Chains A and B, each alone.
Chain A
Amino acid sequence: DIQMTQSPSSLSASVGDRVTITCRASQTVSHYLNWYQQKPGEAPRLLIYAASSLQSAVPSRFSGSGSGTDFTLTISNLQPEDFATYHCQQTYSSPHTFGQGTTVEIK
């Protein structure tokens, strides 16, 4: 199975900050990498698919980059509604494993 490792596991940031979350795969996943946002008590929500494509209706302050084994999710100009947990997922090969999640907290 492909292992997905996110860093950091959690971070504290302020409204207006630029935040970067990293996801590393144990072997190449090409561009088959998705990002989801999850708020407490809610289902995850798709933000980015295919490493860098922004899902419809997702604000443009969210962006994704990377290919192969190293990927980043960047949130520019962090907003109050962005405080949540972010998950990466590879769909290069099954099982379509997730990272352990990164929680973005208010500083």
Chain B
Amino acid sequence: QVQLVQSAAEVKKPGASVKVSCKASDNTFSYFGITWVRQAPGQGLEWMGWISAYNGKTKYAQKLQGRLSMTTDTSTSTAYMDLRSLRSDDTAVYYCARDVAARLGELNYLDSWGQGTLVTVSS
């Protein structure tokens, strides 16, 4: 099974940006999608958005539109999540996960997850 390795924890000030990376261990990366999910302390899972590593198409959660960008680099099998204008309520563990479908509307499910990256937003 593919392994996803995420970048290290970050501490940011309000208003700053953070970029989290997610590197896949095998060369099947471009056949799938990548979903980003976050989990605030003691809370449930929140779907942030999805990107197809196949064609770069993205879909973001409405509440994060304008602050969120997702990209992929198929040459290095790496996905990136960029969140701008950080607020204290963005403090969370951020997970990337492999979506077995390369397109939304197919049978999407998340079969491999990264280890999580803690992003702390504090002045």
Q: How large is the interface on A (under 10, 10 to 19, 20 to 34, 35 or more residues)?
A: 20 to 34
B95–A50 contact, CB under 8 A? Answer: no
In the complex where A43-B95, A96-B35 touch, is A55 in contact with B111 (Cβ < 8 A)? yes
Q: Is A46 an interface residue (CB 8 A)?
A: yes
B50–A96 contact, CB under 8 A? Answer: yes
A1-21 near B? 1/0 per residue, CB < 8 Å: 100000000000000000000
Q: Is B108 an interface residue (CB 8 A)?
A: yes
CB distance from B76 to the nearest CB of A (A): 22
Of residues 75 to 116 in B, which have CB atoms within 8 Å of A's CB atoms? 95, 97, 104, 107-111, 113-116
Of residues 53 to 107 in A, which have CB atoms within 8 Å of B's CB atoms? 55, 87, 89, 91, 94-101
CB distance from A33 to the nearest CB of B (A): 9
CB distance from A103 to the nearest CB of B (A): 11
CB distance from A56 to the nearest CB of B (A): 8
**Which of A34, A46, A49, A101 contacts B44 (CB under 8 A)?**
A101
CB distance from A57 to the nearest CB of B (A): 8
**Which of B47, B108, B111, B114 contacts A98 (CB under 8 A)?**
B47
Q: Is A45 an interface residue (CB 8 A)?
A: yes
A43–B115 contact, CB under 8 A? Answer: yes
**Which of B45, B59, B107 contacts A44 (CB under 8 A)?**
B45
Q: Which residue of B lies closest to A45 (CB)?
A: B113
Q: Is B62 an interface residue (CB 8 A)?
A: yes
Q: Is B73 an interface residue (CB 8 A)?
A: no
B-side contacts of A89, CB under 8 Å: 45, 47, 109-110
A87–B108 contact, CB under 8 A? Answer: no
Q: Which residue of B lies closest to A101 (CB)?
A: B44
Instruction: Write the residues of chain A forming the contact surface with B, with a CB cutoff of 8 angstroms.
Output: 1, 32, 34, 36, 38, 43-46, 49-50, 55, 87, 89, 91, 94-101
Instruction: Write the residues of chain B forming the contact surface with A, with a CB cutoff of 8 angstroms.
Output: 35, 37, 44-47, 49-50, 59, 61-62, 95, 97, 104, 107-111, 113-116
